[in-house]
């Protein structure tokens, strides 16, 4: 059996899925190596949820992502008899030129390293497994699938900042991220709700990273993300939209170093910074502290504001879609956000919302509200298969 391995590497975790390419793509197993470098644990499950492996490792065994990749590769070779034909990787930043997935070679890899400063939390970790496989299996096709590609169809007006044109030519522009998620949701809407899939749809990817994307006939026309994955909505630990003057103030008046500012905005802000409690929405909902409630109120407030902005970009809105961890799993947060959409004609059906139905608005709601689970890994597998031409 020919198989594809899909890899999604984070700062301290390595998520992966194995899919069969015999006939239609079908998932065989999925797993995660979490706690890389601190308390590594490998957990692998079959497609039915059965546990295939659950092993704790020492930090010396799995000190970094390449080591995690080697251990996962060893397990797959020992326990799985499929023939690995390619590896597909999620890569957050593809820069201005990558409008689609690409086959990786040394030149492509070097080009992608240039975007590390634009996605310091993600890009180095996305590239680490690629480099490890290039060294160990240079013959094995690897495909980079970009979170920015889906947004490369934006108009120049949408992508420009109001700074001299030479910076745009150098690549300083609004990119947008979470593109693999939005692309998958757009494809699912054509199946789940064909009556609105060709219309004006706002998708909210609400997870540890959070953003919204305006879709017109299934294509991205505007996004809350910009040059980096800091812009737009407040996130678990990232600040979201912030006045550039605040950055200048921190550098000039507070004497902070650029790396200190970077750590503040990427790792100590957002829900974590506002609440002083943590970044997990479930914990914040349960916390008795007023700062936790305020952090969630701020999160919902900013989503409402950005919904208005994106509705303006679309010239109106036919549907609103929740996806990703918070959007898919938190009826309470969906309810709070729906209140902010009432001026757009939204009416939430509380029973449907509590059940997590696909359609959670009332029959007379002018704005339809949906919950559509995302599947970035399947999207990566599709792009990988198309890129290698199998």
Q: Which of 9-23, 132-146, 291-305, 322-336 has the lowest mean pLDDT?
A: 9-23
Q: Which of 24, 147, 349, 357 is catalytic?
A: 147
Question: In the β-sheet with 2-9, what is the strand arrangement from edge to edge?
Answer: 51-56, 41-46, 26-34, 14-20, 2-9, 83-91, 142-146, 102-103
Residues in the chain: 390
For the segment 230-288, what is each residue's pLDDT rounded down to a tens digit? 999 999 999 999 999 999 999 999 999 999 999 999 999 999 999 999 999 999 999 99
Picking from 41, 46, 146, 57, the residue whose alpha carbon sits closest to that of residue 104 is 146
Q: What CATH architecture does domain 194-376 belong to?
A: 2-Layer Sandwich (3.30)
Domains of the chain, residue spans: 2-146, 194-376
Are the CB atoms for 373 and 2 separated by under 8 Å?
Answer: no
pTM of the model: 0.92
For the segment 86-133, what is each residue's pLDDT rounded down to a tens digit? 999 999 898 888 889 999 999 999 999 988 888 887 898 899 889 988
For the segment 155-173, what is each residue's pLDDT rounded down to a tens digit? 999 999 999 999 999 889 9
Helical H runs in the chain? 65-79, 106-113, 123-136, 156-159, 165-169, 179-192, 194-197, 244-252, 258-267, 270-275, 281-286, 290-314, 324-329, 331-340, 350-355, 376-388
How distant, in Å, are the alpha carbons of 100, 139, 145 from that of 103? 10, 12, 9
Instruction: For Cα atoms 381, 382, 383, give the angle at the middle one, nearest 5 degrees.
Output: 90
How distant, in Å, are the alpha carbons of 199, 204, 211, 297, 306 from that of 348? 20, 16, 21, 19, 19
For the segment 196-237, what is each residue's pLDDT rounded down to a tens digit? 999 999 999 999 899 999 999 999 999 999 999 899 999 999
For the segment 29-44, what is each residue's pLDDT rounded down to a tens digit? 998 888 888 888 899 9
Max CA-CA distance within the chain? Answer: 62
Q: Which two tokens stand for residue 173?
A: 């522009």
Q: Is 147 a catalytic residue?
A: yes
Picking from 182, 221, 176, the residue whose alpha carbon sits closest to that of residue 372 is 182
CATH C-level class of 2-146 = alpha beta
> What's the pLDDT score for residue 390?
57
Whether the domain at 2-146 and the domain at 194-376 fall into the same CATH topology: yes
Cβ neighbours, 10 Å, residue 320? 26
Q: Which of 64-73, 185-194, 279-288, 342-351 has the lowest mean pLDDT?
A: 64-73
N-to-C CA span, the chain = 13
């Amino acid at each position: 059996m020919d198989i594809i391995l899909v890899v999604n590497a984070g700062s301290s975790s390595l998520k992966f899925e194995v899919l069969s390419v015999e006939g239609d793509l079908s998932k065989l197993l999925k797993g995660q190596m979490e706690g890389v470098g601190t308390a590594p644990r490998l957990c692998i499950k079959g497609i039915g949820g059965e546990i295939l492996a659950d092993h704790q490792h020492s930090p010396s065994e799995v000190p970094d992502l390449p080591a995690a990749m080697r251990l996962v590769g060893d397990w797959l070779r020992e326990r799985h008899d499929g023939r690995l034909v390619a590896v597909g990787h999620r890569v957050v930043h593809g820069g201005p030129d990558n409008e689609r997935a690409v086959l990786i070679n040394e030149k492509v890899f070097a080009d992608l390293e240039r975007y590390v400063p634009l996605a310091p939390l993600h890009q180095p970790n996305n590239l680490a497994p690629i480099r490890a496989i290039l060294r160990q299996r240079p013959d094995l096709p690897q495909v980079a699938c970009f979170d920015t590609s889906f947004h490369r169809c934006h108009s120049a007006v949408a992508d420009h900042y109001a700074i001299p044109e030479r910076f745009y030519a150098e690549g300083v522009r609004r990119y947008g991220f979470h593109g693999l998620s939005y692309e998958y949701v757009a494809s699912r809407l054509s199946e789940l709700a064909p009556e609105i899939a060709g219309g004006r749809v706002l998708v909210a990817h609400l997870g540890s990273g959070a953003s919204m994307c305006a879709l017109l006939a299934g294509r991205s026309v505007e996004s809350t993300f910009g040059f980096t994955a800091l812009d737009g909505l407040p996130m678990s630990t990232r600040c979201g939209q912030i006045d550039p003057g605040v950055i200048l103030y921190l550098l000039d008046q507070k004497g902070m170093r650029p790396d200190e500012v970077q750590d503040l905005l990427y790792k100590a802000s957002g829900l974590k910074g506002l609440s002083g409690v943590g970044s997990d929405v479930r914990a914040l909902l349960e916390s008795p502290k007023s700062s936790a409630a305020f952090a969630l109120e701020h999160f919902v407030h900013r989503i409402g504001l950005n919904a208005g902005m994106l509705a303006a970009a679309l010239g109106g809105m036919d549907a609103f879609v929740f996806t990703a961890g918070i959007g898919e799993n938190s009826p309470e947060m969906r309810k709070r956000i729906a209140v902010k959409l009432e001026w757009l004609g939204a009416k939430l059906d509380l029973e449907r919302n509590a059940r997590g139905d696909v359609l959670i608005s009332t029959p007379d709601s002018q704005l339809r509200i949906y919950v559509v689970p995302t599947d970035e890994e399947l999207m990566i597998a599709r792009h990988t298969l198309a890129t290698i031409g199998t």
